Structure 1
Amino acid sequence: MTKPTRESRSKRIVIAGAGIAGLSAALSLHAAGFTNVVIHEAVKELRPLGVGINILPHAVRELIDLGLGDRLAKIGVATADLTFFTPYGQRIWSEPRGLNAGYRWPQYSIHRGRLQFMLLEAVRERLGPEAVMLGSPVTDLHHDADLLIGADGIRSSVRQAMFPEEGEPLFGGYELWRGTTYAKPFMTGKSMIMAGDGRQKIVIYPIAPPGANGTQLINWAIQHPAPDGDTPRGDWNQPIDVEKILPHVQDWHCPELDIPALIAAADQVFVYPLVDRDPLPHWSTDSVTLMGDAAHPMHPTGSNGGTQAIIDARALAYALATGQGLLFYEGQRRPLTNKVVLANRKDGAEVILRLAHERAPHGFTDIEEIMPLVEREEIAVRYKQLAGFEPATLNASRSWSLEPDGSTEASGISSS
Structure 2
Amino acid sequence: MRVVVVGAGIGGLAAALSLHAAGIECLVVDAVTQLRPLGVGINIQPHAVRELTELGLGGELARIGVPTSFQTYTDRFGGTILALPRGRAAGYRWPQYSVHRGVLQMSLLAEARRRLGEEAVRTGLTFRDVVEGPEGVIVSFMDVRTGDPVEVAADVLVGADGIHSAVRARLHPDDGPLLWGGVRMWRGITASGPFLDGATLAVAGSNLSCKFVAYPISPDRTRINWVAEVKVAEGGPVPVADWSREGRLEDVLPHFADWRFPWLDVPELIRGAGRILEYPMVDKDPLRSWGRGRVTLLGDAAHPMYPVGSNGGSQAVLDARVLARSLALSGPTEGLVAYEEERRTATTPLVLANREMPMERTLATVAARAPLGFGDISEVLTPEELAEMAAGQRRITDMDVRFLNERASWSVEGR
- Normalised to the residue count of structure 1, the TM-score between the two structures is 0.89
SS of 1:166's equivalent in the other structure is coil
Measure the CA separation in 1 of the matches of 2:231 and 2:49.
33
1:307 paired to 2:317: no
Q: 1:325 aligns with which of 335, 338, 358?
A: 335
Whether the 8 Å contact between 1:195 and 1:353 is mirrored in structure 2 is no
Amino acid at match of 1:278: D
Whether the 8 Å contact between 2:177 and 2:238 is mirrored in structure 1 is no
Measure the CA separation in 2 of the matches of 1:93 and 1:235.
33
Deviation of the 1:80 alpha carbon: 0.8
Poorly superposed stretches of 4+, deviation over 3 Å: 226-232, 348-352, 358-366, 385-388
1:49 paired to 2:38: yes
Measure the CA separation in 1 of the matches of 2:176 and 2:395.
32
Which protein has the bigger strand share?
A: 2
Q: Are residues 293 and 191 of structure 1, via their aligned partners in 2, closer, same or farther at CA, if it must alter by over 3 Å?
A: same
Deviation of the 1:12 alpha carbon: 2.0
Structure 2 regions of 5+ residues with no counterpart? 132-138, 140-152
Measure the CA separation in 1 of the matches of 2:337 and 2:365.
39
Measure the CA separation in 1 of the matches of 2:155 and 2:372.
60
Measure the CA separation in 2 of the matches of 1:329 and 1:148.
13
Q: 1:242 aligns with which of 216, 237, 249?
A: 249
Whether the 8 Å contact between 1:190 and 1:206 is mirrored in structure 2 is yes
Structure 1 regions of 5+ residues with no counterpart? 1-10, 408-416
Deviation of the 1:116 alpha carbon: 0.5
Q: 1:133 aligns with which of 122, 127, 131?
A: 122
Whether the 8 Å contact between 1:17 and 1:42 is mirrored in structure 2 is yes
Q: 1:283 aligns with which of 268, 290, 311?
A: 290
Whether the 8 Å contact between 1:54 and 1:303 is mirrored in structure 2 is yes
1:206 paired to 2:216: yes
Count of matched residue pairs: 390
SS of 2:317's equivalent in the other structure is helix
1:225 paired to 2:231: yes
Q: 2:344 aligns with which of 321, 328, 334?
A: 334
Sequence identity (%):
49
Deviation of the 1:228 alpha carbon: 9.2
Q: Are residues 187 and 387 of structure 1, via their aligned partners in 2, closer, same or farther at CA, if it must alter by over 3 Å?
A: closer
Whether the 8 Å contact between 1:315 and 1:400 is mirrored in structure 2 is yes
Amino acid at match of 1:28: S
Deviation of the 1:241 alpha carbon: 2.4
Of residues 148-157 and 231-240 in structure 1, the stretch that sits farther from structure 2 once superposed is 231-240
Measure the CA separation in 2 of the matches of 1:45 and 1:352.
44
Whether the 8 Å contact between 1:336 and 1:387 is mirrored in structure 2 is no
Q: Are residues 371 and 141 of structure 1, via their aligned partners in 2, closer, same or farther at CA, if it must alter by over 3 Å?
A: farther
Measure the CA separation in 2 of the matches of 1:231 and 1:383.
27
Q: Alignment RMSD, CA only?
A: 2.0
Task: Name the residue aligned to 2:187.
Answer: 178
1:196 paired to 2:205: yes
Q: Are residues 242 and 335 of structure 1, via their aligned partners in 2, closer, same or farther at CA, if it must alter by over 3 Å?
A: same
- Normalised to the residue count of structure 2, the TM-score between the two structures is 0.89
SS of 1:219's equivalent in the other structure is strand
Measure the CA separation in 2 of the matches of 1:32 and 1:19.
20
Measure the CA separation in 2 of the matches of 1:283 and 1:66.
26
